Structure 1
Amino acid sequence: MSIPWRGRFQDSPITWEQFLDIDEETRRGLEIVDGYVVPREQRDARHQKVASRLSNAIEESAVEEMRSNGDTCIETNTETSVLLWEMPPTARIPDVVVNRCLDDFDQLTADRVLIVVEVVSPGSGRRDRIHKMADYADAGIPHYWIVEFDKVGAVSIERYALEIRKRAYTHVETTHRDGHGLAVDITAPFRILIDWSQLTVAPRL
């Protein structure tokens, strides 16, 4: 039976099963970190548009990869919960997630994730650059991107790769809209080419 959450005070951690008992609509706005439920940061329309544009752009490259490699199945999603570990339960909702395909209704877990992306909003920088980065690294997710945006669209994309032995990310490259021809031009985890125009949400004045 689903239960409402309504921002209840927690004096002790809950289990993953108890988290899933929270009604689905409410749970979409929540993450769980070491058994404690935390609300997601506020995201405005531009934030969501940038995430959607980026997801669509990565999906185009994923389709090309699947066409050239029939054994590969890759999905891209927004607003999808990723279970990083179950004891104590920690699950984040990246702005964009790229993962190996799942069966319907399966819970997405970190071992199937190729890339997670966070789009930085006012007030979310510390969470995205410190707390979430550490969680994604601890979970073994190989690639982490951080996207900054303005009223026109994506401004910069920072890309990090996991050092497996250290369980920490190393900065690979930062691209800027006014200084790089392509927003993304990489070969790992698969070939991804993205032009800045694909990440535009409003015309330049």
Structure 2
Amino acid sequence: MTTNWLERPNPLSLDEYLALAEDARAEIEVVDGIVTLRERRDRAHQKTAFRLAEAVEAAAAKFRRDHGGGEPPCVEVNTEVELVLWEVPLTVRKPDAVAHRCLGPYEGLTAADVLIVAEIVSRWSDSRDRIHKKGEYAKAGIPHYLIVDFDEIGAVAVEHYALLGGERTYSRLAITHRDRDPCALNLSDPFTLRVEWRELEVAPRG
């Protein structure tokens, strides 16, 4: 395999992708077998993703504690983890935050495992997040997609999209704004998830 994978003449397979060094894979995604560099992510972008993941993980943990009548599903939350949407032609994205069913130590994350996927929008990723990834995540059957805008304070707006009625295109269920709405997120599916704006602030916590 050529070492210059950005100039490969043939689509990349999953085995070839997994054979790349981890530091090389960290900064790329694969779309229909073609390697693409990930967009720039500044500290506020990454901290907003981290805060969102924290809030979702806390809600998932509370759901497990409060769940009655049988064993609740195990949910874990990650940031910037490799997500295989489909293998042929290979498409691998690295969402800013993702809630998914718990996996074994050697299992890779696929779209079938994902409950909620989220992207933090920056000036370098706007069209990629709002058009390309939105279409890909819907096509892959991921039930919920969150698009988060941020500023120097933290999250400023959250768009919530979902698949309805067996469709593979998203319907927008809600859009919240920090200056208008009392909370950033208020979901009942796939588990109760209420996130306050203060939870998505990026300033250091005392």
Q: TM-score category by the smaller chain?
A: over 0.9
Q: Which moved more, 1:194-203 or 1:49-58?
A: 194-203
Superimposed CA distance per residue, residues 92-139 of structure 1 (whole angstroms, 9 cap, x where no aligned partner): 100000001000121001001000000001121100011001110110
Matched, 1:53 2:54: no
Matched, 1:141 2:142: yes
CA contact (8 A) 1:110 1:141 kept: yes
Q: CA 1:153 to 1:85, structure 2 compared with 1: closer, same or farther past 3 Å?
A: same
Residue 109 of structure 1 is matched in structure 2 by 110
CA distance in 1, matches of 2:169, 2:87: 20
Show structure 1 runs of 5+ residues with no match.
none
Q: CA 1:72 to 1:165, structure 2 compared with 1: closer, same or farther past 3 Å?
A: closer
Cα drift, residue 10 of structure 1: 2.2
Q: TM-score, normalised by structure 2?
A: 0.93
Matched, 1:81 2:82: yes
C-alpha RMSD of the superposition: 1.5
CA distance in 2, matches of 1:6, 1:179: 48
CA distance in 1, matches of 2:6, 2:130: 27
Matched, 1:162 2:163: yes
User: Alignment partner of 1:151: what SS?
Assistant: coil
Residue 120 of structure 1 is matched in structure 2 by 121
Q: TM-score, normalised by structure 1?
A: 0.94
User: Alignment partner of 1:8: what SS?
Assistant: helix
Residue 29 of structure 1 is matched in structure 2 by 27
Show structure 2 runs of 5+ residues with no match.
none
Q: Which amino acid aligns with 2:167?
A: K
Matched, 1:94 2:119: no
Superimposed CA distance per residue, residues 46-86 of structure 1 (whole angstroms, 9 cap, x where no aligned partner): 00000000000111100011112333210010010111111
Q: CA 1:44 to 1:17, structure 2 compared with 1: closer, same or farther past 3 Å?
A: same
CA contact (8 A) 1:137 1:168 kept: yes
Cα drift, residue 163 of structure 1: 3.2
CA distance in 2, matches of 1:4, 1:46: 36
Residue 7 of structure 2 is matched in structure 1 by 9
User: Alignment partner of 2:191: what SS?
Assistant: coil
Cα drift, residue 8 of structure 1: 3.1
Q: Which amino acid aligns with 1:119?
A: I
